[in-house]
Amino acid sequence: MSKSCLESSTNLESCENIESQVSLESSLNLPTRSGFVATLGRPNAGKSTLLNHLLGENLALVSHKANATRKQLQIIVPYAPLNAQIVFVDTPGIHHQEKLLNQYMLSQALKAMGDCDLALYLAPITDDVKHYQHFLELYQGKHILLLSKSDTCSNEAILAKMAEYQKFDKHFLALLPFSVKKGFDRDLLLKTIASFLPQSPFYYDDELLTPTSTKEIYKEMIRESLFENLSDEIPYEADVMLKRFEEGEKLDRIFAEIIVEKQSQKGVVIGKGGSSIKRISKCAREKILALSPRSVYLKLDVSVYKGWSKQKDLLKKIGYDFTL
């Protein structure tokens, strides 16, 4: 397969040439393909937004606050034309900081690199190429280079940026521009990824969206709602701990705790007369209802854990169980 859409033309339509290099056989006659694909990139590269778009469901946490994703989340996307099952692994953004929480997040990204069959590196179209060079210092495995947020540039600017990356063509398997907003070819991206996966039985049932636990998904939806409603007011060091989850025949009962580091932050989360916590709870409940087949009761409390993001015992209590 061509490593770059630039090899045959200087027009974005040349990206379609990749399609002709993928087998046109009926998927009924093809062996199954399956594999794990780590989505990698700097904070706010658009990894979670991309995965939600490919899946057609809002499972991965999306926020304009950098480093919103803190744990790995697996998302399963089938690609029937190549009889493939792609297991995407959403990872925290690759960055280096001293805080213990940030070290944990980097360890999650590095682990995904080592465990995956293939990586998808997202580089926003406006990024300096030096960030991709830093990535290559960390990872020498098979990967596809995806220029995300391509809707922010003209076609001429996209082609110019692709030309900059062309000097690294020995490192990547394919180079593609992509934009969720502009609608660059979803099918082409999935076809390209699937064509590089190993022949293997499917790892999961066809109907499964994610092997990640329901509790973990709900926790992330509450955290997403927190950032959506208080992103500018609440600091990065805020999190959610699920205290109790009762799954009933007709009703799910969820009891969760929003964690902050200072008493003043607790007041911001609660709001005057409880206005903020009510808004956060309503938003989270609506997100959970969109996935749950049952009614949902959600109770949120707010607690102060001083310096939790810097203390291993508190990190483990909240759910970040790791060894550094």
Question: What residue numbers does the annotated binding site for GTP cover?
Answer: 41-48, 90-94, 148-151
Joined together, the tokens standing for residue 60 give 């991965």
Report the alpha-carbon distance of residue 13 to residue 19 in Å, rounded: 11
Q: Write the DSSP string, 170-232.
A: TT-S-EEE--TTTT--HHHHHHHHHHTSPB---SS-TT-S-SS-HHHHHHHHHHHHHHHHHTT
104 and 315 Cβ atoms separated by less than 8 Å: yes
Q: Extract the tokens encoding 164.
A: 């900059």
Helix (H) or strand (E) holding 259: strand 251-260
Q: Would you say 259 and 239 are in contact if contact means Cβ atoms under 8 Å apart?
A: yes
- Known binding residues: 41-48, 90-94, 148-151
- DSSP per position, 263-319: HHHHHHHH-GGGHHHHHHHHHHHHHHHHH-SSEEEEEEEEEE-TTGGG-HHHHHHHT
Q: In which residue are the tokens 């082609």 written?
A: 159
248, 294 Cβ separation under 8 angstroms: yes
Spatial distance between the Cα atoms of 73 and 36, rounded to a whole number of angstroms: 12
Cβ neighbours of residue 238 closer than 8 Å, sequence gap 6 or more? 223, 226, 227, 258, 259, 260, 261, 265, 269
Q: How far apart are CA 49 and CA 90, in angstroms?
A: 10
